[in-house]
């Protein structure tokens, strides 16, 4: 076996590297340390958001665990954006940008410093895809450590989370909630640290990382405030050092079959639409052939098993207490809905990891058996049609009637759409069109939780359609369609919709259609003029210039 410092020796061995070693001595290294593997700890700790404010203890535990396992830990920072705080504002345009920044941080530090492996620790939702994209680009043995979910807030016997507050905005503005209740919900929804509590984007991505085999079993649904998250890090550190010795790399783990496993768990748990965008980007970083149509393939064969928010009843911590992701995976594996032979970071296969996991418990109703699913097919559907020839994403389950044909109510930004909802100007039967919010046009595909939450709060979630070339929060549900591609800024059909045009969203036929004759659409296209870019300098301009279509993950390094 090659020595476990197979990469770091480039920076530490030989006469010419004396200056390099001097720098390490300056940080307390001793002579014997240079034979040990150097393992990065990408620390997502931040007091920007409760999703990341409980991560320092994990970074500290990682340092101790790596030292105990005979490695040299090297801590570096990764930034985050809080979607919960940036939401509804211009700041939200930096959210998807932060996925790239995080990926770049991990790739840059691991590459520049010749690290032999890396533990990536994160909380808020872009931390997971960003971290994994960086791990894959660097392709050194790596393990993802999720900071853990938040516990619910409590008010009047109800469990609260951040989405409760977004929906309360709609209820309060429609006169359906008292000011006292509104203020109490605002104050109590977030009781401490941890990522947003439903099967929203953070918990969706962490859960799918267990299925992918890049995080440890049970780790993706733990609560950040519980001691077990620290225990998980210590195990993870020891396991990663073994993976470094064995040279087990992320690209060995993140194969097409492993991505199918991840997507199966996303479907079974009722996860976020963002997962579609993020897995296109992850597959791109992994060099795996994976298109938007592959999600449909997995969706058709995978039932929704878990009763989780946003459309269901429970939170991620309830899933954890009911048996966690291993219980879901075991149930899927038993029915041939997972590939059991995929290798994972433990050095064992998926089936081997699940061998000791008990069957579904009878005393819980968070996870249903495959024989009694909540829905027989998955909920994240790819719709196509003249409005979105490259595809778009809809959550098609949990709706009484997932078909709507109605007049377009067109908005070229999010804020005016929210103002229209709050002013009671949107009626049942309308189809809202929120555009120029795509990867290039937004730029950065902001999430539309403020308008969709307000619609739910006003009781219009099932009766108003909403389509956008932007994204949705994991907390969004209702008659909503996102990632419409090509986007408006590229002259996609969504740019050509006029106020009052008839639009059909048909989840049965997987159709998104502008009911306007093709000649008229062509006539409008001929006179369409691309608007001036919203940003011409800085990171948003860089993102707008480089981003690929949402249908290929809105990645910045697609050059072929
Ligand atoms: C604010 C939320 C709910 O965390 C959102 O960012 C998501 O995508 O789930
Ligand atoms: Mg989000």
pLDDT of residue 398: 74
pLDDT of residue 311: 83
Nearest CA to ligand 1 atom 3: 475
Residue count (the chain) = 560
Identify the DSSP state of 391.
Answer: E
Nearest-atom number in ligand 1 for the CA of 163 is 3
DSSP β-bridge partners for residue 118: 40, 142
Which residues have C-beta within 8 Å of that of residue 321, sequence separation ≥ 6? Answer: 364, 366
**Closest ligand to the CA of 444:** 2
* % of the chain at pLDDT higher than 90: 96
Instruction: Give residue 120 CA to ligand 1 midpoint distance, Å.
Output: 20
Nearest CA to ligand 1 atom 9: 474
Going by C-alpha positions, the residue among 434, 470, 519, 397 that lies closest to residue 93 is 470
Which positions are annotated as active-site residues? 473
pLDDT of residue 11: 96
> What is the mean predicted confidence (pLDDT) over 366-386?
97
**Using a 6 Å cutoff on CB, does residue 167 contact ligand 1?**
no
pLDDT digits (tens, 9 = 90+) for 190-203: 999 999 999 999 99
Q: Is 247 annotated as a binding residue?
A: no
Euclidean distance between CA atoms 327 and 357, whole angstroms: 7
Which H, E and C letters describe 474-509, residue by residue? CCCCCCEEEEEECCHHHCCHHHHCCCCCEEEEECCC
Integer-rounded Cα Rg, in Å, for the chain is: 23
- Map out the domains of the chain with their CATH numbers: 1-34 (no CATH), 36-151+192-354 (no CATH), 152-191 (no CATH), 380-551 (3.50.30.80)
The model carries a pTM of: 0.98
Task: Tell me: pLDDT of 1 over 50.
Answer: no
CB atoms inside a 10 Å sphere around CB 524: 15
Average pLDDT, the chain: 97
Residue 381's φ and ψ, nearest 5 degrees, are -105, 150
**Using a 6 Å cutoff on CB, does residue 83 contact ligand 1?**
yes
**398 Rama class: left (phi>0) / alpha (psi -120 to 50) / beta:** left
């Amino acid at each position: 076996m090659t020595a476990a410092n197979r990469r770091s020796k480039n920076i530490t061995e030989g006469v010419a590297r004396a200056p390099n070693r001097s720098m390490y001595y300056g940080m307390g290294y001793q002579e014997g340390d240079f034979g040990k593997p150097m393992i990065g700890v990408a620390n997502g700790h931040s007091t920007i958001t409760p999703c990341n404010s409980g991560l320092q203890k994990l970074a500290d535990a990682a340092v101790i665990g790596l030292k105990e396992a005979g490695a040299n830990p090297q801590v570096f920072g990764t930034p985050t954006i809080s979607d919960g705080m940036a939401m509804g504002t211009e700041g939200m345009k930096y959210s998807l940008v932060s996925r790239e920044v995080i990926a770049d941080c991990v790739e840059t530090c691991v590459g520049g410093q010749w690290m032999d492996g890396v533990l990536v620790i994160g909380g808020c939702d872009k931390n997971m895809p960003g971290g994994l994209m960086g791990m894959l680009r660097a392709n050194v043995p790596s393990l993802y450590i999720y900071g853990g979910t938040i516990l619910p807030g409590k008010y009047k016997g109800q469990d609260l989370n951040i989405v409760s507050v977004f929906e309360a905005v709609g209820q309060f503005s429609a006169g359906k909630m008292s000011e006292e209740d509104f203020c109490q919900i605002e104050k109590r929804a977030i009781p401490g640290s941890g990522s947003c509590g439903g099967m929203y984007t953070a918990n969706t991505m962490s859960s799918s990382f267990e299925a992918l085999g890049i995080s440890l079993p049970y780790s993706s649904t733990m609560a950040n405030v519980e001691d077990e998250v620290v225990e998980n890090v210590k195990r993870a550190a020891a396991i990663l050092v073994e993976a470094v010795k064995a040279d087990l790399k992320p690209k060995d783990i993140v194969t097409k079959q492993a991505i199918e496993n991840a997507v199966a768990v996303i479907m079974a748990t009722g996860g976020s639409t963002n997962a579609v965008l993020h897995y296109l980007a992850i597959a791109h970083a992994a060099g795996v052939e994976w298109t938007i149509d592959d999600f449909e393939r997995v969706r058709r064969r995978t039932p929704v098993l878990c009763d989780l928010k946003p459309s269901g009843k429970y939170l991620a911590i309830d899933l954890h207490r009911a048996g966690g992701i291993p219980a879901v995976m075991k149930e899927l594996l038993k029915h041939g809905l997972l590939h059991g032979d995929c290798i994972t970071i433990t050095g064992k296969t998926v089936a081997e990891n699940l061998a000791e996991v008990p069957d579904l418990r009878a005393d819980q109703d968070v996870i249903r058996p495959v024989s009694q699913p909540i829905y027989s097919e998955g909920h994240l559907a790819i719709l196509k049609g003249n409005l979105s020839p490259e595809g778009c994403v809809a959550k098609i389950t949990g709706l009484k009637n997932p078909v709507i044909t109605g007049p377009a109510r067109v908005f070229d930004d999010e804020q005016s759409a929210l103002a229209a909802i709050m002013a009671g100007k949107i009626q049942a039967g309308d189809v809202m069109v929120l555009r120029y919010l795509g990867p290039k046009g937004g730029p950065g595909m902001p999430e539309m939780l403020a308008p969709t939450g307000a619609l739910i709060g006003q009781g219009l979630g099932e009766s108003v359609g909403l389509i956008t070339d932007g994204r949705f929060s994991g907390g969004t549900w209702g008659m909503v369609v996102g990632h419409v591609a090509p986007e408006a800024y590229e002259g996609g059909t969504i740019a050509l919709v006029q106020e009052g045009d008839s639009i059909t969203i048909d989840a049965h036929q997987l159709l998104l259609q502008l009911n306007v004759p093709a000649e008229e659409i062509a006539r409008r296209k001929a006179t369409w003029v691309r608007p001036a870019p919203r940003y011409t300098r800085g990171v948003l301009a860089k993102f707008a210039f480089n981003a690929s279509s949402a249908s290929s993950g809105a990645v910045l390094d697609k050059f072929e």
